[in-house]
Structure 1
Amino acid sequence: MTDVVVPADDVSPTRVHRTFWWKEALIMLGFYVAYSWSRNQFGSANIGPGDEPLNAFHNAERLIRLERAIGLYHEESVQDWFLPLRGFIRFWNVYYGTAHFVVTLAVFWILFAKRKLVFPQWRNALAITTALGIVGFSLFPVMPPRLLDAPCPSETGGFGGGCIPSTFRSTFDSVDPIVLDGRLRTAEQGSFGFVDTLPEYGGALWTFDSKGVTQLSNQYAAMPSMHIGWSSWCAFAMWPLLRRRWARIAMLLYPATTLFCIVVTGNHFWIDGIGGQLALALGMWGGWALHRWNSRRLDRRHDTTLGLQRPARPA
């Protein structure tokens, strides 16, 4: 248990706000459980064996169309450059599956221990950002690049869109059919060219095809990218605590390396990261607004307990 002293003014004595580590841990755990449950009520978990995920597939096409319109549809090229480096790709597979959680939890704890006066704002910002992510996953499910050529549910029980025709697929020079992402494709069908690096290269302790993961993870929860939202939250929250230049540079590079990771592993379009940044911006605004409202509520309760009358604050 730790006391945070809220400065006194000329009317009210100092108000002490107590924070408990176990309470914050339970709040975070409860919110993450609620986040995981609600996120998985939509998207891939509800795709039946005979269904075709048309909505998620066509939303991915919409993002591709937008990126092409501004001349920045290069995800397939970026991935293609690095695929020959198997050890390099395995590293990013591990990064994708671990840093997202480990770094965020570490920053959450550091904020609780070192920045108690602003900890509630940052906690609220993270919660609201994540809640906005759920809204995005629900209203705009997006099939990640790695699944665009993967087998459809009607073929193998997967979650891909390989059976769905698309004018965005590139043709290739081959008389005979070739195997792409476990699916036989002809030259007429073409391919988006993305590779699902987790099963193909390994490195992580799990894949999206692992037993149980398919039912626990919404594979169309791509827009906005919470990898980018959370990593940017970590960078902004830690900045005031870092004094050494190399540490600040490393923290600022964390969202950038995360963006590279989600693209090179085929898990996101880069524009999903823009969605994550927008969710964070709204989350930070909401987090600060919620904290101001709660502080005023606690002030009123504190003054009522002491029988004091606090002058109205300017709007």
Structure 2
Amino acid sequence: MDAAVDATNNSNSVQREHRTYWWKEALIMGAFYLLYSWSRNLFGSAHISLETGEKPLRAFHNAERIIHFERTIGLFHEESVQDWFLRFRGFIKFWNTYYGTAHFIVTFAVFWILFVKRKDVFPQWRNTLAITTALAIVGFSLFPLMPPRLLDSPCPAQGGFGGSCIESKYRDEGPDGLPKTEDDGSFGFVDTLPKYGGALWTFDSKAMKTISNQYAAMPSMHIGWSSWCAFAVWPLLRRRWAKIAVLLYPAATLFCIVVTANHYWIDGVGGQLTLA
């Protein structure tokens, strides 16, 4: 009898020990995201002075290194991909909206599903997301990277965070490294958000310029988080169409970050590595 009582008490103790509360998890993740945003913005564009006209040389030259590497392996096609789709204005607006919303909505939804449906593994997946995000901060600090959309945008002296004032041999070369037939002195990327719209925010707003590190591109957390969502929710799915949809989510996100010129495709590889 005493043994049975002890077993029951031990069972209740274990249950209490592993009990999770939604408000506690929400506070933890909210605090972590605020810490992530604060620490991410300690580097990169947050330290570029718009008043003095400081040039973002480090972020720009890192972008040149990425372009050189992708050209070397024959896979620098981001500008060609974007250029083909720019004719479809509504299509681009959709992906601008996707870029600014799905990243948060889908991640939160999967986080909640795990909390409700898989409390046994919820702590592991929560910690995996936190570690992945923390590793990204290391990447942002060690390798500030100017995204494609900013390569031809105004420099700080003109009130922006771009690299239009910085000379580069890559402005005169096509994706294959050969001289352009029609040289316009640009990389050819378009910053789709201010030109096409489609999102509830803009990088050009005063608030975003103050709180956002626009050189936090390597690794891509859009890819890191979307891959986390796919892996985390996969065991819960039974229908084939649902599994296919989950696998397509990171692929769609990769297309999004390229067609909107927010990332190079290799940033996505970096995002995968932080999750690995």
- Deviation readout 1:18-68 (Å, 9 max, x if unpaired): 111110000000000000000011111110121000000000111111111
Q: Which structure shows the bigger proportion of residues in strand conformation?
A: 1
Which among 164, 167, 177 is matched to residue 166 of structure 2?
164
Spell out the pairing of 1:131-210 with structure 2 (5 A cutoff): 131-154=134-157, 156-170=158-172, 187=183, 190-210=185-205
Deviation per CA, 1:181-210: give whole Å up to 9, x if none: xxxxxx5x7110000000000011111002
Structure 1 stretches of 5 or more lacking a match? 1-9, 175-186, 282-315
> Is the counterpart of residue 36 in structure 1 residue 37 in structure 2?
yes
Equivalents in 2 of 1:170, 1:273: separation in Å?
26
Residues 1:100 and 2:103 aligned together = yes
TM score, norm. by length of structure 2: 0.90
Candidates 214, 219, 234, aligned match of 2:209: 214
1:211 Cα deviation after fit:
2.6
The one-letter code of the counterpart of 1:45 is A
After TM superposition, what 4+ stretches of structure 1 lie above 2 angstroms from structure 2? Answer: 170-174
Residue in structure 2 matched with residue 225 of structure 1 by the alignment? 220
1:148 Cα offset (Å) = 0.4
> Which one has the bigger helix percentage?
2
Percent identity reads 76
2:246 maps to 251
Give 1:128's aligned residue: 131
Query: 1:119 is aligned with what amino acid?
Result: F
3-state SS, counterpart of residue 27 of structure 2? helix
For the aligned residue pairs, the C-alpha RMSD in angstroms reads 1.4
Q: Scaled by the length of structure 1, what TM-score is found? A: 0.79
In structure 2, give the amino acid aligned to 1:256: A
Deviations 1:137-187 (A, max 9, x none): 011000000000111102x1200001111111136667xxxxxxxxxxxx5
1:83 aligns with 2:86: yes
Q: Which residue type is aligned with residue 169 of structure 2? A: T
Which of 93, 111, 114 aligns to 1:111? It is: 114
Distance 2:118 2:62 in 1: 40
Unaligned runs of 5+ residues in structure 2 are: 1-6, 174-179
Secondary structure at 1:268 match in 2: coil
Matched residues, number: 257
**Which amino acid in structure 2 is aligned with residue 232 of structure 1?**
S
Mapped partners of 2:237, 2:24: distance in 1? 27
- Per-residue CA distance 1:239-290 (angstroms, 9 max, x = gap): 0111111111000000000000000000000000000000011xxxxxxxxx
Whichever of the two has the greater Rg, that structure is 1
